[in-house]
Amino acid sequence: MNNEQSPGAAGQQAATPGGVSSTDLRVGVVGIGWAGQQHLKAYADLDGVTIVSLAGMEQDLRDSLQAEYSIPDAFADWEDMLEHGGLDAVSVAVPTFLHAPIAIAALERGIHVLSEKPIARNAVEGQAMVDAARKAGRVLDVAFNHRRRGDIKALKEVIDAGGLGRPYYAKASWLRRSGIPTLGSWFTNPQLAGGGPLADIGVHALDYALHLLGEPKVVAVSAATHSELGPQGRGGGSRYSAQASSHPFEVEDFASAFLRLEGGGTLLIEASWATYRETDDQLEFTVYGTDGGAELKVHGAPFPPVGQLRVFTDRDGESADYVPQVLPGRAHDAVVEDFVTAVRGGEQAWAKHDGSLALYRAEIIDACYQSAREQREVRL
């Protein structure tokens, strides 16, 4: 392969009218924690993709992953990785405060970007990322892996087929009992993380809820946040790990938000890292429609590949409730595959993948935090 080729050029030149690359797509991964490892695995399973670079601070783990995936180049610093060049696309799987600087630097070099969620600490940074993607004419995708669950896909098919009529109320939640990602880590510092569970896992609930409901516009939010257990040193479970430091607990440990949707519908979002409830994580979605309702419960941690999905409806005045057939989803494998497909799709596909959907999630989360601070409804 021509080493003098400009970054991002291979993905562009290799695209055929059918959107299939005729040469390997050269990718790199920044971040070697759990999320970064999911990206590595997903890329390694795809034909026509070569992982050429890896960046991460933990040397032993970095060396191990470099050997496991036969990656030619590994760096401690992401800036050195981008400066080294030779990349068509990069995954950004690092603490939230680094999403914007890494993504923008990559996009300015003509490199396509797949970032972990949330898009950034706030909508201002997210907008800068979207602007950079549009200016560069490159893909910016954000990893919302829970919408790729098989049970959510099955429910989406029911709703889109009109099986519930017109949905008018929904509730989405992700609740933990002791799931603060290490007390004293960057997760508990709003300047580094952007927020607590609402920004961390609540954004997943918001994403799959709006996805299921057909992307309705949010017109107003009324939210409340609580910080009760974390400041007392409680709620940090051993399963959730992050590099510990001396950061005080300055974010919420529970949040709820009531969203008014265009057309009169409503959506309730709940997210907790630490709440006195049953031990295992619970991911839920409930929806009520004019012709039926549905309930999804995904109980246990780590989450099983298939939750309990039930649809409630009637026929000729009699109950016709049923359990849809559900197959396991593909989570990060599907996220990465969709990203690679978009990159190989050429400029027409790139323009549709500019990060704007993830930016809209950030705008809603920002409005929720503003509502909680000012104790009032905030209109978008």
Domains in the chain and their CATH numbers? 9-145+333-353 (3.40.50.720), 150-328 (3.30.360.10)
Total Cβ atoms within 10 A of residue 20: 12
How is the beta sheet containing 140-143 ordered, strand by strand? 73-75, 49-55, 25-30, 89-92, 112-116, 140-143
In this predicted structure, the answer to whether residue 224 has a pLDDT above a threshold of 70 is yes
∠ CA 117-206-355, rounded to 5°: 45
Q: Taking the mean position of all CA atoms in its chain, how far away is CA 108?
A: 23
In this predicted structure, the answer to whether residue 111 has a pLDDT above a threshold of 60 is yes
Q: Taking the mean position of all CA atoms in its chain, how far away is CA 161?
A: 26
Q: Taking the mean position of all CA atoms in its chain, how far away is CA 77?
A: 24
Tokens linked to 355: 């990060």
Distance in angstroms (rounded) separating the CA atoms of residues 88 and 139: 11
pLDDT (mean) for 290-301: 95
Total Cβ atoms within 10 A of residue 348: 8
3-state class of 58 per DSSP?
Answer: coil
In this predicted structure, the answer to whether residue 354 has a pLDDT above a threshold of 50 is yes
Assign 183 a pLDDT band (cuts: 50, 70, 90): confident
Burial class (CB in 10 A: 0-12, 13-18, 19+), 227: middle
Q: Is residue 170 within 8 Å of 290, Cβ to Cβ?
A: no
Q: Is residue 113 within 8 Å of 28, Cβ to Cβ?
A: no
Rg of the chain (C-alpha set): 21
Q: Is residue 245 within 8 Å of 185, Cβ to Cβ?
A: yes
Per-residue pLDDT, 184: 83
Q: What Cα–Cα distance (Å) separates residue 136 from each residue in 94, 130, 223, 339, 356?
A: 22, 10, 36, 17, 15
Closest residue by Cα to residue 44 from 345, 339, 333, 338: 333
What sign has the CA pseudo-torsion 6, 133, 78, 333?
Answer: negative
When mean pLDDT is compared across 15-19, 192-196, 350-354, the lowest value belongs to 15-19
* Helices 34-44 and 331-344, packing angle to 10 deg: 60
Distance in angstroms (rounded) separating the CA atoms of residues 229 and 290: 40
Mean predicted lDDT score pLDDT of the chain: 92
Beta bridge partners of 266: 169, 260
Total Cβ atoms within 10 A of residue 34: 12
Which comes out higher in pLDDT, residue 118 or 301?
118
Antiparallel, parallel or unpaired: β 25-30 and 89-92: parallel
In this predicted structure, the answer to whether residue 154 has a pLDDT above a threshold of 60 is yes
pLDDT (mean) for 158-164: 98
Per-residue pLDDT, 243: 52
Closest residue by Cα to residue 336 from 4, 106, 49: 49
Find the helix or strand (DSSP H, E) in which 314 lies: strand 314-315
Write out pLDDT tens, residues 13-61: 333 322 334 479 999 999 999 999 999 999 999 999 999 999 999 999 9
pLDDT (mean) for 257-284: 97
In this predicted structure, the answer to whether residue 8 has a pLDDT above a threshold of 80 is no
pLDDT (mean) for 285-312: 95
Q: Is residue 338 within 8 Å of 137, Cβ to Cβ?
A: no
DSSP letter, residue 183: T
In this predicted structure, the answer to whether residue 242 has a pLDDT above a threshold of 90 is no
Which comes out higher in pLDDT, residue 10 or 132?
132
Distance in angstroms (rounded) separating the CA atoms of residues 296 and 265: 19
Per-residue pLDDT, 95: 97
In this predicted structure, the answer to whether residue 311 has a pLDDT above a threshold of 50 is yes
